[in-house]
Structure 1
């Protein structure tokens, strides 16, 4: 997991969601996962990316659910679990406590391991970038 700044590259659709959320002064998480596997792929190695708070799933992405998601959260402290699961291959997870101020947006970008994608080499580990957008 690495932190990022607003100067880092954010996918254009996620930037659009971020712009609308900032304009409406929303508080919460903007989540985007870079899953490059085709939706009709028959590979047994596909990944699903989740963000959970306790037992509640806040948002998820897979090869068939690729668009960014915005999840509204109440201001205050939230203990979030970031999870990548791979069919038949386990996965990775970590937990992070984040204090949300009113009008604050946390941007979460994930690129899971994609071993069956050839046109752009996948990283060796699941990569997460998490950053707080100043309000």
Structure 2
């Protein structure tokens, strides 16, 4: 069962993109401090949405392979560098907060759509 879940994860576009970039980082093709392509560039290179590209980069950030700096981009993290600075932590927290705001908005929008659809349905009858 665990292998099945791993295989399904590998088929997700964000995981495939993250795996490709991870391979480049681990092989040394992408050096510490080097910028990653923008979300737009990644989305065009891989034929996915910008949000999928952003998810791929976030996967790498969660693994500690890249650092995301809002309004600047994502950079390959130096594995032997000093621990994250306050600025790095602040930038990462700002990114997480931004994702939370987007998720909250998405949930609110979805709730409104579901509510509107439910209001369009006729009332449930006693025989149902």
What TM-score does the superposition give when structure 1 sets the normalisation length? 0.29
Looking at secondary structure, tell me which structure has more strand per residue.
1
Looking at secondary structure, tell me which structure has more helix per residue.
2
What TM-score does the superposition give when structure 2 sets the normalisation length? 0.30
Bigger radius of gyration among the two: 2
